[in-house]
Each structure stands twice: as C-alpha cells, then as structure tokens.
Chains A and B, each alone.
Chain A
C-alpha cells in the first residue's frame, strides 16, 4: 500500500533527521578541532548556545525549504530513527574514550 504523508510531516521530518545527525557531527568536530570550538565560543559567548542556535535555525530553514518540493511518498520515520541512532553512536565515539 502506497503511503502518503502531508508535506510538512515529510519536510520537517527530513529536516529533523538531518539536523540531529549534523548536530552530532558538529559535536565531534568542535571537540576535535579547537579553533572551531573557539569560534563557536566567540559567536555567542558559549559553544553550547551557538550549537543550539545553529540546530534550531537549520531545522526551521530546512523544514521550510523542503516544503517547496513534494515528497509525499517518503516516510520520514525511518530517516528520523536512523538519524538519532547514528547521532547517539557519534556521541558515544566522541565521549566514551575518556
């Protein structure tokens, strides 16, 4: 049976999946590359605030932009699940060796 989802469900679902994954990658990058960490501190005064704003803005922007295209037959749930699982894996790689 062909599943059809509303445009916003798909667009923001893809956006959430991408942001969750990129957020974990940004965590890895800022922990491994001090100049990036310092840049993020310099932007707002704290790296976590910059990280938060980046995630929020990217989610809203991407979700809105993807609404322009019709993806009604894409099920965003597996993408979201995989995005979260991979991001948890990346966080584990970043912090567990300590």
Chain B
C-alpha cells in the first residue's frame, strides 16, 4: 500500500506546484522544495515498489494469470512497470528545471511555462500508473474470488 499512497502524495504536490504557478507572485522557494520532494518520493517509490515487485509480486502474478483477468498482468502490469521508469526520469528532471529556470519564475512566463509543462506531463503519467495499479489489484482480488466460487462458495 505504501507505494500507491506515495504516488498520490506526489500527485498532490504536483497540483500544489501547478496552483502556485498560476499565481502572479509565485514562490520560487516553494516550487523548489516541492519539486525536490517529488523527485525524492519518486526515488523512494522506485525502491519500495521495486522491492515489492521482485520479492512479492511473482506469487501474485501467478494468481492473476490463473484468474479471470490475466490481462491485468500481461498488459496492464507490464505497461505500468515500464511506464513508471519514464515517469521516474521525468520526476528527476522536474527539480532540474525548477532550479535551472528558478530566477526567471518571478520574472517572466517562459520559465513558468516550462515548469508547468513538465509538472503536467508527470501528473498525467502518474494518473495512468495509479489507475493501472488499481486494475492489477483488482485482477489479484478477482483471482481469489474466482477460486472461492470454484471451491464451493461461502464456508
């Protein structure tokens, strides 16, 4: 559960950044702190989710593949695990942009536009990844439900 929650926290921080960028007197310090926090969360998720994926997911994969939603692994999880790599790179890029363009944030719209674009890209990728995670979880849950039904229902 930890890594999806961290993903949602990342999304919240990105929305916070986007709200801040919409203001006339955007706080560069706030943007910098949020962007660094987003990058650190991405690295944390990379480690935690990676550990889960390597140690615990193989058993879950077997269940999903034997269940009623095998595509939850074959398509959704496979895409998710590789799309995440792209999202992590974009998350690491975000503080680079903020720090690099930082002095211009208060001065002109161009610096804000670049940061806003990266934040939106990352937010959309995370949205897809979170949704994919929900589908994979459902695939695992349905495999248990199907097993109970085959076994004779409620006991």
Complexed CA–CA distance, A77 and B94 (Å): 12
- Evaluate whether A55 and B89 lie within 8 angstroms (CB atoms) in the complex, with A7-B100, A48-B54, A49-B54 already known: yes
CA distance A82 to B78 in the complex (A): 21
A-B contact count (CB 8 A): 94
* Chain A: number of interface residues, binned into ranges: 35 or more
Q: State the CA gap A95–B54 with chains docked (Å).
A: 20
Apart from A59-B89, A91-B79, what are 13 other A-B pairs with CB-CB below 8 Å? A8-B97, A9-B97, A9-B101, A12-B100, A13-B93, A52-B88, A55-B85, A56-B88, A77-B118, A80-B117, A81-B121, A84-B90, A87-B83
B-side interface residues toward A, CB under 8 Å? 46, 50, 53-54, 71, 74-75, 78-79, 81-83, 85-86, 88-90, 92-93, 96-97, 99-101, 110, 114, 117-118, 121, 125
What are 15 sample pairs from A and B whose C-beta atoms fall under 8 A apart?
A6-B100, A6-B101, A7-B100, A8-B96, A16-B89, A16-B93, A20-B90, A23-B82, A52-B88, A56-B88, A56-B92, A80-B90, A84-B86, A88-B83, A98-B71
